[in-house]
Structure 1
Amino acid sequence: LNIIDLPIWLTVILTLVLLDIGIYGQHLASHKWKWLWQLHKIHHTDQEFDVTTAVRFHPLEIMISMCYKVLLIYFIGANPLAVIAFEIILSSCALFNHSNVRIPLSIDKIVRLILVTPDMHRVHHSVIKSETDSNYGFSISIWDRLFATYTAQPRDGHDNMEIGLTEYRHKKNVRLQRLLLMPFNRRT
């Protein structure tokens, strides 16, 4: 974008959109590529869906994510102000989407046409694999519809759905030391 003569407002919008689809792609890859899943599944071991889930990541996954974003920023020639805005938006959306805030269904249905809502992202944290493998978006919800990864509601409803991963239901399996070593354990 920095080699094309575009108005600044357009480079900001394009940067935000391209970074958002890039993060969608990274999240999808974190579920589909086994070596990334070994790191990312730590985020999914949380059995309580709340804002703390938004920061539950393996340090190695965070480092890989940072390197990926640096490359993405470089290759798209991102506007520096838009990068700062994107990081603020991404962090805010991650906290909001992992919150246990209940938006009235009538409003949620409208908002999620464009933006990811907590109910929409909560489906992604279901123990049911087909639901875990859906709703990868963080900010803009359009990517999930466009790439056929959207699930509107959990099979068992939000009140009855189980959160987390079936194989990590026991408390001893989700202690900090085990979580940090989990990606290096051949049995997981």
Structure 2
Amino acid sequence: MSHEMYWRLGFFFSVLAIMMLLEWRKPARQSIIKNRSRWLANFGLTLTSTLLSRLTVPVGLTAVAVYYQQHGIGLFNQLNVSPLIVVILSLLLLDLIIYWQHRLFHQVPILWRLHRVHHADAHIDTSTGLRFHPIEIVLSILIKLIAVTALGVPAIAVLIFEIALNGLALFNHANIRLPNAIEKPLRLILITQVLHRIHHSQNPEETNSNFGFSVTWWDRLFGSYKTSATLSDNEINIGLAQYPDPKQNASLWHLLTLPFKK
């Protein structure tokens, strides 16, 4: 698609800069280690994931979607439905798939080995929203590729979804606390920072809740929505109890090798 890269990078760096600025001006919680160490590891992991995904799946999902549209591949490319309806349905279905993908990565032991890299962060901020093991990123791309292939998702819907998914992941991981007058009504629709910090609690019951990266609908519908933790938002113990060393969890090598350790 024309100017796709500019749209992606423009939205990504804009949201990243705004969230990091808000974190700097008024953080919700204080990090127990220097942010510089965590950022080197988290952003280093992001760069590694980007390189591996490009090598593994060199063709972008939007390019694949354009090809499918041109050749009539996939469910929506076989139906005579309004393009607007197709885009809306595509966005909803892709988001639902990502919700269940997230739940599976918590419930299937071999997948949890990969996903625990994300949860081992002893602090949560915008950089945590980018902290995923490269193998998990590749698997996520393949899952989305299967969904785009089967559904025949239009390219514009793929672009909107991926921009929104990345932006909202940065948003709800941000180390900020919205005023109650904004946060309470917003959580009727979106996963807020307070809700997502519950998901990063060391309490397994809380970790296995609020799986949505964007909207709260799926958690409400499938019984995984949790409005509050046992402890207050200031006191929630973030991370994984079995990996208590925050400095070790801020090591890029440790993050890359963590799925292969006990």
Q: Specify the TM-score bucket, using the shorter chain as the normaliser.
A: over 0.9
Structure 1-normalised TM-score?
A: 0.95
> Is the contact made by 2:122 and 2:246 (CA closer than 8 Å) also made in structure 1?
no
Q: Encode CA deviations 1:65-112: one digit per residue, 9 max, x unaligned.
A: 111111111111111101100000000000001001211223212111
Q: Structure 1 or 2: larger helix share?
A: 2
What's 1:177 paired with? 253
Q: 1:69 to 1:97 in 2, by over 3 A?
A: same
Give the RMSD, CA atoms, in angstroms.
Answer: 1.1
How far, CA to CA, are the matches of 2:108 and 2:212 in structure 1? 17
Alignment partner, residue 127 of structure 1: 202
Structure number, greater radius of gyration: 2
Report the equivalent of 1:101.
176
200, 203, 218: which is aligned to 1:143? 218
Equivalent in 38, 42, 49 of residue 117 of structure 2 = 42
1:50 counterpart letter in structure 2: D
The residue number in structure 1 matching 2:4 is none
2:27 aligned partner: none
> Aligned partners of 2:89, 2:246: CA distance in 1, in Å?
44
- Of stretches 129-138 and 164-173 in structure 1, the one that deviates more from structure 2 is 164-173
Residue 31 of structure 1 aligns with an amino acid whose one-letter code is H
TM-superposition CA deviations, 1:143-175 (whole Å, max 9, x none): 000000011011101011110000111135422
Residue segments in structure 1 that go unaligned for 5+ positions in a row: none
Against the structure 1 CA distance between its residues 172 and 98, is the aligned structure 2 distance closer, same or farther, given a 3 Å change threshold?
closer
TM-score (ref. length: structure 2): 0.69
- Secondary structure of the equivalent of 1:108? helix
Tell me which residue corresponds to 1:20.
95
**Stretches (4+) displaced over 2 A:** none
What letter is aligned with 1:32? Answer: Q
- Say whether the 8 Å CA contact 2:121–2:239 is kept in structure 1: yes
| Counterpart position of 1:85 | 160
The residue number in structure 2 matching 1:52 is: 127
Q: What secondary structure sits across from 2:78 in the alignment?
A: coil
Deviates more, 1:36-45 or 1:76-85: 76-85
Residues 66-77 of structure 1: pairs in structure 2 closer than 5 A:
66-77=141-152
Does the residue aligned with 1:168 lie in a helix, a strand or coil? coil
Instruction: Tell me what 1:155 maps to.
Output: 230
SS at match of 2:77: coil
- 2:253 maps to a residue whose letter is Q
1:47 is paired with a residue whose SS is coil
Aligned length: 186
Partners of 2:121 and 2:246 within 8 A in 1: no
Percent identity, aligned pairs only, is 43
Q: 2:221 is aligned with what amino acid?
A: L
User: 5+ residue gaps in structure 2?
Assistant: 1-75
Quick one: higher RCO (CA 8 Å, sep 6+), 1 or 2? 2
Q: Deviations over 1:4-50 (max 9, x none)?
A: 11111111110110000010010000100001000000000111110
In structure 1, what is the Cα distance between the partners aligned to 2:151 and 2:117?
30
Q: What's 2:84 paired with?
A: 9
